[in-house]
């Protein structure tokens, strides 16, 4: 018997409640320290908050231009030039989006046709595959090589067919903390040369890289710059994930198509926040301090784990730290993560959920975008297990 009054055929039958919701609910229920949540537990700068109020009060409350506030786009073009030495036309090559997620969904919807293949590296951030499926495309999974989460480019090359429309890269990478190197981008350049393959580059953690490593944006590579769409998130850069604000950059011929979808998906995004971020960008370059800020957190958390039986896997970027528990238990990572939350009062995310194949390397993801007290308590608990 059908339990609903109307017969439905789900477009995403295999998509259920995300692990992030499940683990957070479990953390609440068991009053556990929640390091499963991928967002900061601290606030953004007062100045930025004040600017939002200022612009709401100033009456900037109606629709923004479809592509975003011109001033904000101009400032972002300058920022991209100073960070990656790439010149952009803010008129035609930047669009302000409702966070990185909307940029990703819009880009996939705009370019992926029915039966097109899209290469996705796994473990993968969870919004790529559903967007590909909604566009009628086929996600082609490529495993990152455990334990370094490196890419076997020869294998990628073998998977390319006449149907390959797009390759999705994500650096710095959620969930592994892996940062792509120059050799990776050069390999990507070679593989895609003389093809019609587009690159969707998820660079939302561009300003969270450690140990003097450089963020290898696609904009540093002339040939990739001609075939790439890159997404960014103000949420990650300014500790305001709940604002759902970001932007997308692409060469004009691609941005034209991107905007055709954007204008009917959201038309335009939050006006007073665009004014506030534009004014903030004029006054502050505090995104340049983000590497140091998060590196200190990573180092604090990992050095507090020195005596623990968990193994710290190398993380060169993002605000996630992977820990292997293979010396502690043989349980499946989902089982172990649940037990950790219930019995030891600490919530994390099991890595297998980021794979279609549910590959299980006995690794958990912990978010260290938290205050020192929380990280200290978490490390104390983990060290006793
Ligand atoms: C790799 C990656 N891409 C995109 C996003 C989404 O960014 P936003 O919150 O701006 O939509 C996230 C958020 O966690 C992420 O980790």
Residue 241 Cα: closest atom of ligand 1: 9
Say what the pLDDT of residue 4 is: 86
Q: Would you state the pLDDT for residue 264?
A: 97
Please choose from 38, 174, 232 the residue to mutate so as to test ligand 1's pocket, defined by most ligand atoms within 8 A of CB: 174
Beta bridge partners of 363: 324
From the CA of 330, how far away is ligand 1's center (Å)?
31
User: pTM to 2 decimals?
Assistant: 0.97
Fold of 60-285: 3.40.640
> Is 246 a pocket residue for ligand 1 (Cβ < 6 Å)?
yes
Where, residue-wise, is CATH 3.90.1150.10 in the chain?
A: 19-44+288-383
Report whether residue 268 contacts ligand 1, using a CB cutoff of 6 Å. Answer: no
Q: Is 233 in the pocket of ligand 1 (CB under 6 A)?
A: yes
The pLDDT of residue 3 is 77
Q: Looking at the CA of residue 234, tell me the nearest atom of ligand 1.
A: 10
Contacts of residue 172, defined as CB under 8 A and 6 or more positions apart, other chains included, come to 178, 179, 205, 206, 208, 209, 215, 316, 317, 318
For atom 4 of ligand 1, the residue with the nearest CA is 100
Q: Kind of pairing, strands 198-202 and 228-233? A: parallel
Give the per-residue pLDDT at 37.
85
pLDDT tens digit sequence for 37-53:
889 999 999 999 999 99
pLDDT confidence of residue 15: 87
Establish whether residue 170 lines the binding site of ligand 1, counting it when its CB lies within 6 angstroms of any ligand atom: yes
pLDDT at 14: 87
pLDDT score at 355: 94
Q: Which CATH number fits domain 19-44+288-383: 3.40.47.10, 3.40.50.300, 3.30.70.2190, 3.90.1150.10?
A: 3.90.1150.10
Task: Specify the domain boundaries for CATH 3.40.640.10 within the chain.
Answer: 60-285
204 Cα: distance to centroid of ligand 1 (angstroms): 6
Residue 174 Cα to ligand 1 middle (Å): 9
pLDDT at residue 257, as a whole number: 98
- Going by C-alpha positions, the residue among 330, 345, 298 that lies closest to residue 23 is 345
For the chain, which residues score pLDDT lower than 70? 1-2
Ligand 1 in contact with 121 (CB < 6 A)?
Answer: no
Mutate to test the pocket of ligand 1, among 236, 294, 353, 367 (most ligand atoms within 8 A of CB): 236
317 lines ligand 1 (CB under 6 A): no
């Amino acid at each position: 018997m059908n339990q609903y009054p109307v017969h439905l055929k789900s477009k995403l039958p295999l998509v259920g409640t995300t692990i992030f919701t499940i683990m957070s609910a479990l953390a609440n229920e068991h009053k556990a320290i929640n390091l499963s949540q991928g967002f900061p537990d601290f606030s953004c700068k007062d100045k930025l908050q004040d600017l939002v109020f200022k612009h709401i009060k100033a009456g900037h409350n109606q629709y923004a231009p479809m592509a975003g506030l011109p001033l904000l786009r101009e400032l972002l073009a300058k920022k991209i030039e100073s960070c990656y030495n790439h010149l952009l036309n803010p008129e035609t090559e930047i669009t302000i989006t409702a966070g990185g997620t909307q940029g990703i969904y819009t880009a996939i919807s705009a370019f992926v046709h029915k039966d097109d293949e899209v290469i996705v590296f796994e473990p993968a951030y969870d919004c790529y595959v559903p967007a590909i499926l909604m566009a009628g495309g086929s996600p082609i999974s490529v495993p990152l090589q455990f334990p370094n989460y490196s890419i076997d480019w020869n294998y990628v090359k073998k998977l390319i067919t006449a149907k390959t429309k797009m390759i999705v890269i994500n650096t710095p990478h959620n969930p592994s903390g892996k940062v792509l190197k120059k050799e990776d981008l050069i390999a990507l350049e070679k593989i895609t040369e003389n093809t019609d393959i587009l690159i969707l580059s998820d660079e939302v953690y561009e300003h969270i890289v450690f140990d003097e490593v450089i963020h290898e944006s696609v904009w540093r590579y002339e040939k990739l710059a001609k075939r790439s769409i890159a997404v960014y998130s103000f949420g990650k850069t300014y500790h305001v994930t709940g604002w759902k604000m970001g932007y997308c950059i692409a060469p004009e011929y691609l941005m034209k198509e991107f905007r055709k979808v954007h204008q009917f998906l959201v038309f335009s995004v939050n006006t007073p926040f665009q004014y506030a971020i534009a004014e903030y960008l004029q006054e502050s370059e505090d995104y340049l301090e983000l590497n140091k800020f998060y590196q200190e957190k990573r180092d604090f958390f990992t050095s507090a784990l020195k005596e623990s039986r968990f193994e710290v896997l190398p993380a060169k970027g993002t605000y996630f730290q992977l820990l292997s528990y293979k010396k502690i238990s043989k349980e499946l990572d989902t089982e172990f993560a649940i037990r950790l939350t219930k019995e030891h009062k600490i919530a994390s995310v099991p890595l297998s959920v980021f794979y279609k194949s549910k590959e299980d390397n006995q690794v958990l993801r912990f978010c260290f975008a938290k205050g020192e007290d929380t990280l200290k308590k978490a490390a104390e608990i983990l060290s006793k297990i």
